[in-house]
């Protein structure tokens, strides 16, 4: 058989080095080629991750047993021996940039699986990689962004040792690595509002469609899609169908999901009402706060001890009270103070009037003076089920509690005015607990007091006062989207967030995260990926197509209103005409639609629909093995077959 020269370039020899020429015959298999090349380089190292890349054909030669002939390689072919895993800069949903080794040779779907395995994120099928938007101006600040290098991690092809909590063991190798993991699994502090305001925000559904043009093709490899070593990519949740979210196993996944949701809301990628925004803000604040304290406790064992001791004590106390009501009567905590009261309902011009107040159980009673407190109170108000709202201005030293107490005839509106922050935070905390039917004896009382104080502190350090902003204070503006930054001053915003906050203040970190996700998922526009499409049957102008986890939505581009929806379960089949790039779908009852996508490749649309159908085939009983084949079948398109 004829012997001919094959030129193979080897990265390890340097970019400038001329390709190596090796003599081969057509029946030499790929493995043999690699062996020859390696021998010729005379470099001894672990070559196991290397494979041949055929540049002209943009193709990997991954089957070592295939002969050159079978692969169709002739003397004109330029091959390249290169590692399959190369470093990649991956921008996580929370904005952290990681440098890690990802597989450039397998389909992106599998690459993502590897990345997720490395980062301890379950259900990689829900995520995918997104190209960064093309940057029009060259930013010089690029270098400022910190990149966390975890290329030292083992390759995901092997097995990764994991700790009990699912954390891959290599993250414990050094403090730096540990820190990286913490960054992934703990939500990041809020950015200053100015930064948020500068970020890109889509304003219309057409804008929102743009992002979807940047998804990588799941069935082709990174290198095939023109990506190079050290390129930047975003890792994002692509399919809004989150399977089996279990906090104890999903620390990273949950946090990243939360971060993605948070940014979607802050950057107005998904719209919400003002009330919802305030609740999101409150949750963000709470999550931020709880995450920092958690870290703090973890780093300080003494505190830890103290904390647990206190908790024990609390538990004990609780147990005792329930065990013996004698104790209850003895220790039932109360608040007493001179406060001022004002009832707007009675339309007198009377202002706040001072009385002696006592707070017991869930009721407030007031008396003319302290001395008369043994007599019948002037009035007693049971706060159970009432609405409590702050009316506070730290700058103006105004500390009022607005109570709306339900009564058979309606709501009784009462304002209580406190003299100072201390007093206010105690009474406010008591009112809040009482509104939920809890008494002062409840274990959460002190934490409630604290959270009110810290919130007040926030108001104190808002930019309005031009006080030096300490690092730990959060600007309320950074908790809401720029629209509300413009609409409200921090002074106005704080009480509103505080109001929403009282409903979430007692949540644990996990619960708060889950709650945030829940509210996000309950938004009407949740989980819809937009595409601009054309040539809908019988319609000449472009329209917007929304793809959600259970339906397709046709949206009028101008009014942005839903025209029609089709559910997947009424879908009979869908086809893609790859030549004219048209997607045709048939639904039950002879409903046919066909469209081509203007803003993205039709492969992306196809993949979205197939992907969601794939997601719906997962069910709870199934184990974790991922049916990769099915995914490719549903999303692959013509070249997969």
Interacting residues toward another protein by CB under 8 A? 242, 245, 271-276, 279, 322-323, 325, 380, 385, 387, 404, 406-411, 483, 503, 514, 517-519, 521-525, 550, 560-561, 569
Query: Closer to another protein at the Cβ: 397 or 508?
Result: 508
Closest contact distance (angstroms) between CB of 60 and another protein is 39
Closest contact distance (angstroms) between CB of 451 and another protein is 19
Closest contact distance (angstroms) between CB of 261 and another protein is 11
Strands 97-103 and 147-149: parallel
Query: Closer to another protein at the Cβ: 272 or 290?
Result: 272
Closest contact distance (angstroms) between CB of 82 and another protein is 42
Closest contact distance (angstroms) between CB of 369 and another protein is 20
* Rounded distance between C-alpha atoms, residue 187 and residue 463, angstroms: 24
* Rounded distance between C-alpha atoms, residue 380 and residue 366, angstroms: 7
Closest contact distance (angstroms) between CB of 497 and another protein is 15
Strands 127-130 and 85-91: unpaired
**Tokens 């279990």, located at residue:** 246
Question: Alpha helix locations (H) across 374-478?
Answer: 421-435, 445-460
Three-class HEC string of 364-387: EEEECCHHHHHCCCCEEEECCCCE
Query: Closer to another protein at the Cβ: 4 or 526?
Result: 526
Query: Closer to another protein at the Cβ: 36 or 483?
Result: 483
Query: Closer to another protein at the Cβ: 276 or 337?
Result: 276
Count of residues for the chain?
641
* Rounded distance between C-alpha atoms, residue 69 and residue 76, angstroms: 13
Closest contact distance (angstroms) between CB of 392 and another protein is 21
Closest contact distance (angstroms) between CB of 410 and another protein is 3
Closest contact distance (angstroms) between CB of 66 and another protein is 45
SS3 content of the chain, % helix, strand, coil (to 5): 40, 25, 35
Q: Are 160 and 168 a contacting pair, CB within 8 Å?
A: yes
Query: Closer to another protein at the Cβ: 561 or 624?
Result: 561
Please tell me what DSSP assigns to residue 449.
H
| CA dihedral of 238, 220, 117, 510, whole degrees rounded to 10 | 0
* Rounded distance between C-alpha atoms, residue 235 and residue 244, angstroms: 20
Closest contact distance (angstroms) between CB of 521 and another protein is 4
Structure-block tokens of residue 111: 């690459």
Closest contact distance (angstroms) between CB of 548 and another protein is 10
* Rounded distance between C-alpha atoms, residue 82 and residue 567, angstroms: 46
Q: Give whole-number Cα distances, 223 to 86, 102, 327, in Å.
A: 10, 11, 72
Query: Closer to another protein at the Cβ: 409 or 624?
Result: 409
Query: Closer to another protein at the Cβ: 83 or 527?
Result: 527
Query: Closer to another protein at the Cβ: 525 or 586?
Result: 525
With a CB cutoff of 8 Å and minimum separation 6, the contacts of 159 are none
Query: Closer to another protein at the Cβ: 248 or 521?
Result: 521
Closest contact distance (angstroms) between CB of 280 and another protein is 10
Closest contact distance (angstroms) between CB of 560 and another protein is 8
* Rounded distance between C-alpha atoms, residue 380 and residue 361, angstroms: 12
* Rounded distance between C-alpha atoms, residue 300 and residue 65, angstroms: 57
Other CB atoms within a 10 A radius of the CB of residue 298 amount to 11
Please name which of 266, 233, 263 lies closest in space to residue 127, comparing C-alpha atoms: 233
Three-class HEC string of 8-66: EEEHHHCCCCCCEEEEEECCCEHHHHHHHHHHHHCCCCCCCCEEEEECCCCEEECCCCC
Query: Closer to another protein at the Cβ: 42 or 573?
Result: 573
With a CB cutoff of 8 Å and minimum separation 6, the contacts of 27 are 1, 67, 68, 69
Closest contact distance (angstroms) between CB of 105 and another protein is 35
* Rounded distance between C-alpha atoms, residue 292 and residue 481, angstroms: 22
* Rounded distance between C-alpha atoms, residue 418 and residue 590, angstroms: 70
Query: Closer to another protein at the Cβ: 158 or 589?
Result: 589
**Tokens 């004990």, located at residue:** 316
Query: Closer to another protein at the Cβ: 308 or 558?
Result: 558
Query: Closer to another protein at the Cβ: 27 or 271?
Result: 271
């Amino acid at each position: 058989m004829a012997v001919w020269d094959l030129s193979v370039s080897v990265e390890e020899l340097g970019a400038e080095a001329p390709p190596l020429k090796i003599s081969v015959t057509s029946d030499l298999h790929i493995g043999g080629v690699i062996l020859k090349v390696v021998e010729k380089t005379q470099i001894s190292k672990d070559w196991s991750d290397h494979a041949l890349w055929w540049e002209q054909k943009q193709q990997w030669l991954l089957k070592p047993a295939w002969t050159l002939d079978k692969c169709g390689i002739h003397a004109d072919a330029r091959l390249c021996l290169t590692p399959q895993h190369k470093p990649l800069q991956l921008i996580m949903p929370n904005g952290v940039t990681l440098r890690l080794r990802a597989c450039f040779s397998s389909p992106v779907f599998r690459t993502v699986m590897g990345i997720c395995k490395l980062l301890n994120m379950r259900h990689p099928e829900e995520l995918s990689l997104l190209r960064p938007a093309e940057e029009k101006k060259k930013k010089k600040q690029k270098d400022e962004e910190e990149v966390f290098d975890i290329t030292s991690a083992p390759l995901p092809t092997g097995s990764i040792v994991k700790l009990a909590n699912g954390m891959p063991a290599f993250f414990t190798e050094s403090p730096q690595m540990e820190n990286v993991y913490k960054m992934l699994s703990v939500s990041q502090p809020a950015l200053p509002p100015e930064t948020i305001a500068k970020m890109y925000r889509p304003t219309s559904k057409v804008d929102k469609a743009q992002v979807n043009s940047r998804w990588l093709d799941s069935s082709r490899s990174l290198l095939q899609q023109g990506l190079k070593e050290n390129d930047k990519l975003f890792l994002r949740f692509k399919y809004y169908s989150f399977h089996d979210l279990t906090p104890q196993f999903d620390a990273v996944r949950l946090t990243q999901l939360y971060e993605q949701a948070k940014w979607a809301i802050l950057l107005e990628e998904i719209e919400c009402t003002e009330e919802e925004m305030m609740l999101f803000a409150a949750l963000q604040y709470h999550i931020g706060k709880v995450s920092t304290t958690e870290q703090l406790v973890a780093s300080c064992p003494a505190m830890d001890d103290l904390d647990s001791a206190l908790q024990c004590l609390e538990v004990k106390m609780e147990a005792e009270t329930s065990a013996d009501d004698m104790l209850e009567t003895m220790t039932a905590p109360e608040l007493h103070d001179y406060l001022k009261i004002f009832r707007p309902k009675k339309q007198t011009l009377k202002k706040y009037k001072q009385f002696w107040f006592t707070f017991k159980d869930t009721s407030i009673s007031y008396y003319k003076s302290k001395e008369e407190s043994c007599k019948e109170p002037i009035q007693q108000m049971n706060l159970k089920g009432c609405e409590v709202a702050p009316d506070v201005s730290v700058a103006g030293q105004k500390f009022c509690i607005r109570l709306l107490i339900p009564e058979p005839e309606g709501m009784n509106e009462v304002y209580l005015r406190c003299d100072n922050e201390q007093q206010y935070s105690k009474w406010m905390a008591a009112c809040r607990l009482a509104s939920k039917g809890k008494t002062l004896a409840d274990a959460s009382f002190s934490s409630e007091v604290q959270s009110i104080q810290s919130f007040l502190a926030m108001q104190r350090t808002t930019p309005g006062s031009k006080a030096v902003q300490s690092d730990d204070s959060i600007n309320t503006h950074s908790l809401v989207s720029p629209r509300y930054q413009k609409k409200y001053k921090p002074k106005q915003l704080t009480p509103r967030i505080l109001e929403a906050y009282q409903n979430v203040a007692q949540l644990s970190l996990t619960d708060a995260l889950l709650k945030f996700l829940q509210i996000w998922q309950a938004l009407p526009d949740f989980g819809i990926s937009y595409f601009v499409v054309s040539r809908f049957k019988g319609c000449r102008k472009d329209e917007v197509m929304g793809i959600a986890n259970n339906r397709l939505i046709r949206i009028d581009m101008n009014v942005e209103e839903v025209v029609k929806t089709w559910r997947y379960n009424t879908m009979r089949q869908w086809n893609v005409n790859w030549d004219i790039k048209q997607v045709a779908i048939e639904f039950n009852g002879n409903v046919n639609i066909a469209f081509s996508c203007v803003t993205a490749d039709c492969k992306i649309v196809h993949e979205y629909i197939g992907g969601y159908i794939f997601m719906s085939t997962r069910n709870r009983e199934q184990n974790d093995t991922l049916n990769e084949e099915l995914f490719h079948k549903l999303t692959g398109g013509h070249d997969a077959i």
